[in-house]
Amino acid sequence: MSALQRTDTSLLGRWWWTVDRWTLAAIAILLACGGVMTLAASPAVAERIDVGSFHFVKRQAVFLSLAALTIIGVSLMSPKGICRLAILTTLGALVLMLMTLVFGAEIKGASRWLSIGGLSLQPSEFVKPGIAVVAAWLFARQRMDERFPGIQMSIAVYLVTVAILLMQPDVGMTIVVSVVWGTQFFVAGLPLVFVALIALTFMGAGVGAYFTFDHVQLRVDRFFGPDSEIGYQAARAIEAFQHGGILGRGPGEGRVKEVLPDAHADFIFAVTGEEFGLLACLVIVGLFAFVVLRGFARVMKRDDLFVLLAVAGLLSQFAVQALINMASSVSLIPPKGMTLPFISYGGSSTLALAIGMGMVLALTRERPETGGARYEH
């Protein structure tokens, strides 16, 4: 990029000198870590299911390459373009989520995936970045025009999304969407009494999910039972961190990937700890923290409510998803089928995260003009 001068007015030139290159570099490192960890964790899983040792490695290499292109492509867009992309993404994801209820394959008691051309697509992953930006736009639009029913529309979109998620059912995704939407509602100026009411509603919904969904009750109950299958997985993950120590056993020397069914996905953090050690895990945690904190630091300088709410929502999603995965890997919470952003294997998750991070980079680019009036349409 040295050939690009500050006076370069081309699309790529303007992008390079206005995008947050530090955040872009951190995301690139996470993508590289994802490639390395898929290479380390997935061959053992692939051999167990007899699909060829590098089956997941080859597929994830394609997903990560597409993710890199997606991040750059989306980050080139204007804020108005991001808003339009979010609306289309949300509508498309909701339609596909409804289709999963009819045509989706049921896996582990949930219908979340559509089979398209031999590939499995999880539409609910794509609703996360979409609804965060759509909610931000609705909140900001009402702030500009009190006659516009932005809050009511945002509540309606949220309830429709949550209803479809619970019909699949996908409690974990519901939690992520709810936390992010609640955070945006609070940042948008919701009175504290309503924040408390929403928090109580979320807690009540959690209790309700425990008594309504058998798989939720089973996971929670087994989490506290040492002789259970889920207790076994959590115990093996903890042992992996213990065996890894500070510097790890070395690439390819781990054993937890040979016994955990989702070592390349839900428990890839445990594989990282065993083969590369505590220091590598801390580096990954540091990269996540850097992306989130730097993003908030940049957006807090803006006086544009839409940009503030959208970036806050997207970064909260990124942070919550990473925290859930890492917390379940160290047995702080019951295991949840949620990927570690850009590290775990998974096409839908990787591409949806790429869209979200591309939106963050686009919205935090340095621009001379600010003001929410640009996002009215």
The confidence score (pLDDT) of residue 206 equals: 65
Higher-scoring residue by pLDDT: 284, 147: 284
**Residue 374: count of CB within 10 angstroms of its CB:** 16
What does the pLDDT look like over 51-79, one tens digit per residue?
Answer: 888 999 999 999 999 999 999 999 999 99
Query: 3-class SS at 46?
Result: helix
Report the chain's C-alpha Rg in angstroms: 21
User: Which stretch, 105-114, 311-320, 361-370, has highest mean pLDDT?
Assistant: 311-320
Of all residues in the chain, what percent carry a pLDDT higher than 70?
84
Q: Give the mean pLDDT of 9-27.
A: 90
pLDDT at 201 over 80: no
Return the DSSP state at 76. Answer: T
Decide if 157 contacts 135 (C-beta within 8 A).
Answer: yes
Give the CA-trace dihedral at 95, 321, 356, 261, to 10 degrees.
-70
Q: Give the mean pLDDT of 94-103.
A: 90
Tell me the average pLDDT of the chain.
86
| Stated pTM of the model | 0.89
Q: Angle at CA 54, nearest 5°, toward 51 and 56?
A: 75
The secondary structure of 175-239 as a DSSP string is HHHHHHHHHHHHHTT--HHHHHHHHHHHHHHHHHHHHH-HHHHHHHHHHT-TTSHHHHHHHHHHH
The confidence score (pLDDT) of residue 316 equals: 93
- pLDDT-derived band at 195 (thresholds 50, 70, 90) equals low
What does the pLDDT look like over 162-183, one tens digit per residue?
Answer: 999 988 888 888 888 988 888 8
Phi-psi region of 234 (alpha: psi -120 to 50; beta: other; left: phi over 0): alpha
Burial class (CB in 10 A: 0-12, 13-18, 19+), 168: buried
The confidence score (pLDDT) of residue 132 equals: 95
110: enclosing H helix or E strand:
strand 110-116
**Residue 268: count of CB within 10 angstroms of its CB:** 27
Decide if 75 contacts 362 (C-beta within 8 A).
Answer: yes
**Residue 159: count of CB within 10 angstroms of its CB:** 10
pLDDT at 328 over 80: yes
The confidence score (pLDDT) of residue 202 equals: 66
Half-sphere exposure of 312 (CA within 13 A, CB side): 23
Decide if 95 contacts 51 (C-beta within 8 A).
Answer: no
Give the residues across from 115 on adjacent strands: 120
What does the pLDDT look like over 263-294, one tens digit per residue?
Answer: 888 899 999 999 999 999 999 999 999 999 99
Q: Among 21-30, 119-128, 212-221, whose mean pLDDT is lowest?
A: 212-221
Decide if 172 contacts 124 (C-beta within 8 A).
Answer: no
Burial class (CB in 10 A: 0-12, 13-18, 19+), 203: exposed
* Residue position matching structure tokens 């060829």: 52
Return the DSSP state at 373. Answer: G
The confidence score (pLDDT) of residue 188 equals: 82
Q: Which amino acid is at 355?
A: I
Decide if 288 contacts 307 (C-beta within 8 A).
Answer: no
Q: In what order do the strands lie in the sheet with 119-121?
A: 105-107, 110-116, 119-121
The confidence score (pLDDT) of residue 354 equals: 97
Query: 3-class SS at 302?
Result: coil
Question: Regarding beta strands 119-121 and 110-116, do their DSSP bridges make them parallel or antiparallel, or are they unpaired?
Answer: antiparallel
In whole angstroms, what is the distance from residue 35 CA to residue 39 CA? 6
Q: Where exactly are the structural domains of the chain? A: 21-375
What does the pLDDT look like over 214-268, one tens digit per residue?
Answer: 655 666 666 555 544 556 777 788 889 999 999 999 988 888 888 888 888 889 9
**Which contacts qualify for 163-168: CB closer than 8 Å, 24 or more apart?**
164/94, 164/97, 164/98, 164/101, 165/97, 165/124, 166/209, 167/101, 168/97, 168/100, 168/101, 168/104, 168/110, 168/111, 168/112, 168/124
- pLDDT-derived band at 116 (thresholds 50, 70, 90) equals confident
pLDDT at 374 over 80: no
The confidence score (pLDDT) of residue 367 equals: 74
Token pair of 112 as six digits: 């979340």
